[in-house]
């Protein structure tokens, strides 16, 4: 979710999609209809937080070796 000039928008977290939504209901409907099951992908979600989490996990795995 981004907040530009007090207008909330929701960015699709799919790596293959660049759609933005102005309402959470539209965002949720899009995810459930267009990207059902994608959360099982290793690159999901393609958001700054998702990418950081994957980097952290990769770093932790490297430390264990």
Q: Which CA distances in Å does 59 have to 11, 55, 65? A: 27, 6, 10
Looking at the whole model, is its pTM more than 0.85?
no
- What are 16-61's pLDDT values in tens digits? 899 999 999 999 999 999 988 887 888 878 888 888 989 998 887 7
With 0-12 / 13-18 / 19 or more C-beta atoms within 10 angstroms meaning exposed / middle / buried, residue 47 is middle
Residue 4: the pLDDT is: 53
Report the DSSP beta bridge partners of residue 10: 21
Q: Are 8 and 22 in contact (CB under 8 A)?
A: yes
The one-character DSSP state at 22 is: S
Residue 59: the pLDDT is: 84
Q: How confident is the model at residue 1 (pLDDT cuts 50, 70, 90)?
A: low
């Amino acid at each position: 979710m981004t907040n530009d000039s007090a207008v909330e928008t929701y960015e699709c977290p799919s790596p293959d999609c660049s759609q933005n939504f102005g309402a959470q209901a539209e965002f949720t409907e899009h995810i459930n209809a267009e990207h059902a099951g994608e959360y099982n992908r290793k690159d999901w979600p393609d958001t700054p937080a998702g990418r950081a989490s994957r980097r952290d996990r990769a770093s932790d795995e490297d430390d264990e070796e």
